[in-house]
Structure 1
C-alpha cells in the first residue's frame, strides 16, 4: 500500500525528478541503530517480532544487530540469540555490525552473509568510539574486511561525522573522501555517509557526494544516513537522490541516536522516507500501512509515541 492509497488527495502529477533513480533500496537500521541507545533492554522476543514485521512489510535490507562488546552497547548483548531465533525471509538481507575480528568470528558462526564496520571521519570521535586514532582505525578494520571478503561476505563501511563533529566542528570534505576511499580500497562494497549529529544541509550533501564522484567513486557504491536533529533529514535525502544516490538508510518510526554522541537524535523515519518516495514516483517495495502498524506496535513496546510525522498522521 502506498501513500496515495493512504490519503494523498486526487491525482498527483509526476514531478521532474532530474537524475533521480527509478528505484531506491531502503536500508532499514531500526533493529540495530534504532534500538542500540535504548536505556531499557528490549527482550529478544520483541526484537525478533520487530525484525519479522519489518521484513514482512517489504524492506529488502534489515540491519539486525551488532557484535560489539556488551560493555559498550548492553542493548545488543543478545546478538547471537537474536540471530539464532531469526526467521529469515527469502530475498531479505540481514546485515550485522562487526567492530573487530572477534565480532567477525561470531558473525560467521551465526551464518551471517552481510557485515558492516563503523569508521569515523574525525580524530576525536574515532578515539571516543574506538579508542584509536583516525589512521589507527584502518589497521583494526583491514583484517576484518579482507577476511570477510575472502569468506564471501558483503561488507559495508559506515563513515560517521561526515558533515560535522560535536567536538571538532565542521569536517573537511577532502578528509571525508580520504577516509571513505580507504574503506572502499580495502574491500568495502558500499559506503554509508553518516550525518551522525544531524547538522547537514542539502548544499553540503551535494558537495560531499560530488567530491566522492570526482574522486572516482561510482554513485552505486554510496549510501546516505541522515539524522533529523534540525529537521533536515528528508531535504538532505532528496538532495542525494537528485544526484543519483539510490540507497538510503532509515529507521522505522524514527528510532535511534548514537550512544557516543549525545547531540545525535533520531534517524530519518522510514515511513517519512517512503511517503516522500511515493510522491516522487520512486519504487521501493515497502507496504507503508504495514510499516506504520509496525512502528505503532514498537512504540507501544517502548512506552512512548513514535516521532515520525507520517506515523503520527496515519496511526489508527
Structure 2
C-alpha cells in the first residue's frame, strides 16, 4: 500500500516548486481525481505521516511484535495514541433497514456492544416515526438503558439524535427536579454542508436549520446534556454536486460556536478519496477549527473508508464513527452503502499502533450475530475473516 501511495504522490513531483495556496483562486476547486489537481507539496506531508504512523509501534527497537488484538486493554483517553470510536450501528446503522427490527433485538445489540470496550454507542433517534419508522421505539430504548444499564468494562455513553425541540422533550426527564440518571447525558444534532441535501433531509435551507438548532442546543446545555454535531455531505452531494471545503469549515464553526463539544464530518455518499479528505482536513485546520474537536464519519460506497480514516488519522483526528458489520446507508443518496465497519476500523487502528480499548474478537462476534439476526450481509471484511480462524466448538453430545 505504501508503495502505491508513494507512486500516487510521485505524480505531484512536477509541482514541487509550486506555491499556490489552497484557498487561492488559481487552485482547482474540483475534489474528484483528475488525477490530483495542482497543489503545493509543502501543503501535504500525508505519505510521510502515514509511514511514520505505521512504524510508530513496529520499529526494530520493539522487543516483540504486537498483535492486533493485544491492544484491547482499557487505555486512558488522555493517552496520545488513544482513538475514540463512536459506534453508530444501533442508530445510523439500523435506521434505514426496510424491515422493522424488533425492540428486543435493538436492545440486545446495544447490550452486546457494551461488553466490547466501546465507550460511545449511539442508541437511537427522537425523530418523527412517519419519517424514520425504524426509530419509533427510541423512547423505550432510553427507558431500558436508564432502568437497566448494560454491564460494561468501563462507563459507556449512549447518545440519541435529536433534530428539534419536540425530540428533545422525549429525551428530558419527566419530573422536576429530575432524579439522577433520569434522561440522556448526550444528544446529537444533524446539519448539512449542502443546501440541496438540507432541503431534502431537513426540509429547510442551512440557515433555517441553524435557527431551529439554537433552542435545542441551548436547552440541552441548560440541562447539563452534552451536544455533538454532525455535518453531512462534506465532500459531495447528489443534489448540489461537490461541496466546497470552505462551506464545511463555515458549518463546522457554527456548530462549535453554538455549543457542540465535537463535530463529526460525514462523507455521507462515500465519494471521498485520500486527496479530497486531505484537502478538507487542511482547510478545516487552516480555517482555525481545532482538530481535537473533529471526528470523521466515512461511508464505504467505493471502498475508500479505511484509507480515508488513515488520512484523518495522519491529520491528527482521534475520533472516528463506525458501525458494527458495516450496517447503514442513506435513503437520500442512491448507491450509498453502510458506514465503515467497526471491526475493520479497530483492526486498522491497532495495526498502526493506536489504542482503542475495543476487543476486536468480541465486536466481530457481535457483527456476525446482528447480521444473522436481521438477515443481511455482514459488510465487514475483518470480522468474518477473524472468526473463520477460530476453532469450531465441538458439538455437545
TM-score, normalised relative to structure 2:
0.74
Q: What is the deviation of 1:259?
A: 2.5
Whichever of the two has the greater Rg, that structure is 2
**Structure-to-structure mapping, 1:117-266, within 5 angstroms:** 117-266=189-338
**Structure-to-structure mapping, 1:9-24, within 5 angstroms:** 15-17=54-56, 22-24=81-83
Structure-2 separation of matches of 1:66 and 1:15: 37
Aligned match of 1:48: 107
Q: What is the deviation of 1:170?
A: 0.6
Structure-2 separation of matches of 1:218 and 1:14: 21
Structure-2 separation of matches of 1:261 and 1:113: 31
1:46–1:206 Cα change, 3 Å:
same
Q: Any conservation in 2 of the 1:220–1:245 contact (CA below 8 Å)?
A: yes
Aligned match of 1:9: none
Aligned match of 1:75: 134
Aligned match of 1:277: 349
Q: Any conservation in 2 of the 1:21–1:244 contact (CA below 8 Å)?
A: no
The one-character-per-residue Cα deviations of 1:249-294 (angstroms, maximum 9, x if unpaired) are 0000000012322232110000000110111110000111111111
Q: What is the deviation of 1:176?
A: 1.0
Mapped pair 1:105 → 2:164: no
Aligned match of 1:93: 157
Aligned match of 2:124: 65
Q: Any conservation in 2 of the 1:21–1:241 contact (CA below 8 Å)?
A: no
Structure-2 separation of matches of 1:280 and 1:14: 6
TM-score, normalised relative to structure 1:
0.92
Aligned match of 2:32: none
Aligned match of 1:5: none
Deviates more, 1:63-72 or 1:297-306: 297-306
Total equivalences in the alignment: 303
Structure 1 unaligned residues grouped into runs of 5+: 1-12
Structure-1 separation of matches of 2:287 and 2:54: 31
Q: What is the deviation of 1:16?
A: 3.1
Mapped pair 1:28 → 2:87: yes
Q: What is the deviation of 1:17?
A: 4.8
Name which structure has the greater RCO, CA cutoff 8 Å, separation 6+.
Answer: 1
Structure-1 separation of matches of 2:125 and 2:53: 40
Q: Any conservation in 1 of the 2:82–2:354 contact (CA below 8 Å)?
A: yes
Q: Any conservation in 2 of the 1:36–1:259 contact (CA below 8 Å)?
A: no
RMSD of aligned Cα (Å) = 1.7
Aligned match of 1:3: none
Structure-2 separation of matches of 1:260 and 1:190: 25
